[in-house]
Amino acid sequence: MSAAELRSIGLRQGERVRFRRPNRSRWTLGRIASVGADGSILVHDADGAARSLRPEALEVERPNRRGRLTWRAVDEVATTWEQLDLFGSDTK
């Protein structure tokens, strides 16, 4: 998926995310690389390792009502193609 397609769903290539690895309690930081055809998000961690993760497993920094950056689940902030179509002005 290109950078323009990532922007259309509310994400940016290279954006910082965090995730938890299986059997670990600490968060691991990474950066968004792309979105796969199945909806998984390709993330590179600080060591350069690539992981394809479900959106529910990732959190991204977004400003809250007061403007402070907080971590929010990617599946809450990313918009889907269906949502975009619902609010389009498709009058016939």
The pTM (predicted TM-score) of the whole model is 0.74
| Angstrom distance (rounded) from CA 33 to CA 51 | 10
Q: Which two tokens stand for residue 19?
A: 């995730």
Residue spans of beta strands (DSSP E) within the chain: 16-20, 27-35, 41-45, 50-53, 58-63, 69-73
- pLDDT at res. 8: 73
The CATH classification number of 3-86 equals 2.30.30
- pLDDT at res. 84: 47
| Angstrom distance (rounded) from CA 59 to CA 75 | 8
- pLDDT at res. 90: 55
- pLDDT at res. 16: 94
Contact 13, 34 (CB under 8 A): yes
Q: What is the chain's alpha carbon radius of gyration, rounded to the nearest angstrom?
A: 14
